[in-house]
């Protein structure tokens, strides 16, 4: 009896629901006539169009207040991020491994370095209208470009001394005295003046390892100034090229794996940030086989 009752209630409900979805007597669909449905739809379409319009307007007015010539995103990073070329990644680590006796093992490395350094070609830097900043006097007016654009300081391969391609087309890889290129990332819009440049002009970089790395040469010699670092963004300074340091290992032990840490050094430069292992320094492995 009870089950029969339940069954009846159930089929009744189904029937009611059917009538709710489509009521042939009143011509109502889901409890409303078709005309009402059209009005409701129009109402919501208008509602959403107005909402989207308001949203677009607020985004638009926000964009209007942003200056495209000012980087809209400045982080607190005071020390340049540092990367190394050749960038041969094995998992997360950079491992530069090759065999002097096997040209195939370093041909790719040398090719990638030629590509990487091509933008530092003197002719190319001239075409890009990058300025010679070697004299520190009044860098600001030197870099003033047309309109709101700025020129950048030129950085050319001849500043890389014995690590420039015209000195040795294999960058020392064939002779077992490889050059490693340390690239310092741009510092956004650093406020600087000549005093600060002089202040920074001390041993700006050093590569160290637990083992004896042998004699190491750095190019450019000693250091270079802060004038290479301020970066005003892609629009204001389209031809900026990152400064480099070439590290030439003159007599590294063969068949030994070195773990080398290269640090940028200067006042206010941090290279011991536990949260960012790339801030101010770079670590890589090097093994030269023969």
Ligand X SMILES: *[C@@H]1O[C@H](CO)[C@@H](O)[C@H](O)[C@H]1NC(C)=O
Question: Can you tell me the distance from the alpha carbon of 95 to that of 263, in angstroms, rounded to the nearest whole number?
Answer: 17
CB 181 → ligand X: shortest distance, Å?
A: 15
Compare residues 105 and 259 and give the one whose CB is closer to ligand X.
Answer: 105
Are 256 and 231 in contact, with CB atoms under 8 Å apart?
no
Closest C-alpha to 151, from 142, 164, 159, 160? 142
Are 271 and 81 in contact, with CB atoms under 8 Å apart?
no
CB 155 → ligand X: shortest distance, Å?
A: 13
CB 39 → ligand X: shortest distance, Å?
A: 58
Compare residues 32 and 114 and give the one whose CB is closer to ligand X.
Answer: 114
CB 215 → ligand X: shortest distance, Å?
A: 10
Compute how many other C-beta atoms are within 10 angstroms of the C-beta atom of residue 122.
Answer: 14
Which parts of this chain interact with ligand X (CB under 6 A)?
A: 99, 101-102, 121, 123, 127-129, 132, 134-135, 145, 149, 151, 157, 161-162, 165-166, 202-203, 206, 217, 238-239, 255, 265-267, 289
CB 46 → ligand X: shortest distance, Å?
A: 48
Q: Which pair of tokens denotes residue 21?
A: 């979805």
CB 64 → ligand X: shortest distance, Å?
A: 25
Compare residues 26 and 78 and give the one whose CB is closer to ligand X.
Answer: 78
Compare residues 94 and 139 and give the one whose CB is closer to ligand X.
Answer: 139
DSSP secondary structure letters along 40-79: HHHHHHHHHHHHHHHHHHHHHHHHHHS-TTS-S---S--S
Question: Can you tell me the distance from the alpha carbon of 263 to that of 209, in angstroms, rounded to the nearest whole number?
Answer: 11
Compare residues 225 and 266 and give the one whose CB is closer to ligand X.
Answer: 266
Give the phi and the psi of residue 157 in degrees, each rounded to 5: -65, -25
Compare residues 170 and 239 and give the one whose CB is closer to ligand X.
Answer: 239
Compare residues 94 and 246 and give the one whose CB is closer to ligand X.
Answer: 246
Compare residues 102 and 272 and give the one whose CB is closer to ligand X.
Answer: 102
CB 158 → ligand X: shortest distance, Å?
A: 7
Asked if the peptide bond before residue 191 counts as cis, ω within 30 degrees of 0, the response is no
Question: Length of the chain in residues, anyone?
Answer: 290
What helix, strand, coil percent values describe the chain, rounded to 5? Answer: 35, 25, 45
For Cα atoms 104, 160, 106, give the angle at the middle one, nearest 5 degrees.
Answer: 5
Are 58 and 259 in contact, with CB atoms under 8 Å apart?
no
Closest C-alpha to 282, from 244, 226, 252? 244
Tell me which residue has tokens 């001394």: 161
């Amino acid at each position: 009896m009870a089950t029969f009752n339940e069954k009846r209630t159930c089929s009744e409900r189904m029937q009611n629901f059917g009538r709710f979805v489509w009521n042939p007597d009143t011509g109502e669909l889901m409890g409303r006539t078709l005309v009402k449905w059209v009005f409701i739809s129009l109402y919501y379409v208008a509602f959403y169009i107005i909402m989207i319009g308001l949203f677009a307007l607020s985004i638009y007015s926000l964009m209007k207040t942003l200056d495209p010539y000012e980087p809209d995103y400045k982080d607190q990073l005071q020390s340049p991020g540092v990367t190394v070329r050749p960038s041969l990644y094995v998992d997360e680590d950079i491992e530069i491994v090759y065999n002097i006796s096997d040209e195939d093992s370093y041909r790719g490395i040398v090719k990638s370095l030629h590509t990487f350094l091509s933008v530092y070609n003197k002719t190319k830097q001239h075409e890009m209208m990058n300025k010679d900043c070697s004299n520190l006097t009044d860098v600001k007016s030197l870099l003033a470009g047309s309109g709101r654009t700025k020129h950048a300081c030129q950085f050319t391969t001849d500043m890389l001394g014995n690590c420039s391609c015209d000195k040795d087309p294999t960058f020392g890889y064939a002779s077992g005295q490889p050059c490693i290129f340390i690239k310092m990332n741009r510092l956004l819009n650093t406020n600087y003046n000549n005093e600060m440049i002089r202040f920074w002009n001390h041993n700006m970089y050093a590569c160290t390892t637990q083992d004896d790395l042998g004699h190491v040469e750095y190019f450019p010699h000693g250091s270079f100034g802060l004038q290479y670092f301020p970066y005003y963004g892609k629009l204001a300074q389209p031809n900026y090229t990152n400064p480099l340091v070439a590290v030439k290992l003159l007599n590294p032990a063969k068949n030994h794996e070195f773990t080398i840490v290269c640090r940028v050094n200067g006042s206010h430069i941090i290279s011991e940030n536990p949260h960012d292992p790339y801030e101010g320094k770079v670590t890589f492995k090097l093994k030269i086989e023969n």
